[in-house]
Structures are given as C-alpha cells and as structure tokens.
Amino acid sequence: MGDHKEQPLRVGAAVRRRRRALQLTLAVVSERSGLSVPFLSQVENDRARPSTSSLEKVADALRTTAVELLAAADPACSVDVVRAEGTEPVPEPRVRSLVRGHHQMHASEFTGDHDAGREFQYRNDQLMYVADGAVEIEAEGRAYRLGRGDTLYLTGGVRHRWRATVPETRVLVVAVAEHIEALHDRHR
C-alpha cells in the first residue's frame, strides 16, 4: 500500500555503486574511513547494517553524505509512508531518513546528541527545524541557539556545525538534493 515498513532500508548497493563510480577499491575506502575491509564488504552485501557513525565515515570516504547514501538505497516511490519506529526513548544518537528514494528533496530526523565537531557544507539549501529540545548551531562565524519550534535556513555552500544542548533533542533537516544543481540558479 505504499507503506514500506516491512522492507528494511538496504544501503549496501548504494555504497557499492558510489565506490565503483569513484573507481575506488574497498582497501582505499577502508583507509579513508578507518573501517575494516571485511566490514565494508559486509555492508556492501547487506550482511551488516552500519551505525550512523560508520555510515558517516563511509560517506566521508566516498565524498558524499549519509543522507545521499540513504536516499539512493531505495527505489523512488510516488507515494510513500515512513512510519515512526516506536515511542520508547532512544538510547543513542540516530538519524532517520524521512524521504526514501532519489528525489529533489531530502528530509532526515536527528535524535539525541550529535557530533558537534563535525562540520557540514551542502551544495544546496537546507532548513533545520527543532521538533523537540534545543540546539546550538555555528554558521558563518556566528552561534545561533534554537529551541522547540525554531527553524534555521542555510543557503547552499554555508559551512556549519551543530550540537544538541538538551537530552533527547529531535532536529528535522530538509534539504534540496545534492544531485540537483539548484545553487547555480541563484546567480542568474
């Protein structure tokens, strides 16, 4: 019915396609990511599911984002429902893709603490919405504090980092897909 809950997200094929497109070996990706070749092989063959941290390391090694890898993991659907995974507290930080497939828009939900030392820079625009809790975002040399219900809009190319300042914070990030050349339209 468009509800794909019974079909787990398989990111392995997306990782393999990206690695091959860059003409990289598993050994090179292993060296860049700090993850073992056997583990990377298991991920590519969908025998292991990478943690959020591991997926970000793989994405960095492949010069992409975890969101892009997750988006490329499932075929596009014209109508799709992404169900909430449960109401119990989340024991560790996690990211959940809210839009599956290869689309012009990506949306992810970040729950819990976040690696404040990691800097992000996306080619296209994005919007951050604090659903619960509070965050501190550093962008363009300024710090912004956002609470529940606040949003921050970032144009493409802005380097930024953020961290949760309250336990069990939930942040929704909606972005124009990296494969869309939206940045060039702004300069006309």
Please report where in the chains the tokens 């050349």 appear, as a residue: 181
* Three-state DSSP class for residue 164: strand
CA dihedral 45, 46, 51, 55 (to 10 degrees): 50
pLDDT, residue 175, reads 85
Max distance between CA atoms of the chain, in angstroms, equals 48
Round to the nearest angstrom and report the end-to-end CA distance of the chain.
Answer: 42
Letter for the amino acid at 115?
Answer: D
pLDDT, residue 112, reads 82
Which phi-psi region, left, alpha or beta, contains residue 168 (left: φ > 0; alpha: ψ -120 to 50)? left
Query: In whole angstroms, what is the distance from residue 7 CA to residue 126 CA?
Result: 28
Query: In whole angstroms, what is the distance from residue 3 CA to residue 27 CA?
Result: 37
Enter the tokens of residue 105. Answer: 């828009």
Number of H helices, E strands in the chain: 6, 8
Task: Render each residue's pLDDT in the chain as its tens digit; 188 residues.
Answer: 444 444 456 788 889 989 998 999 999 999 999 999 999 999 998 888 898 899 999 999 999 988 888 877 755 456 667 777 765 555 577 888 787 766 677 788 888 877 777 888 888 889 999 999 999 999 998 999 999 999 999 998 899 999 999 888 999 888 877 665 554 444 43
Please answer whether residues 22 and 62 qualify as being in contact, where contact means their C-beta atoms are separated by less than 8 angstroms. Answer: yes
pTM of the model: 0.58
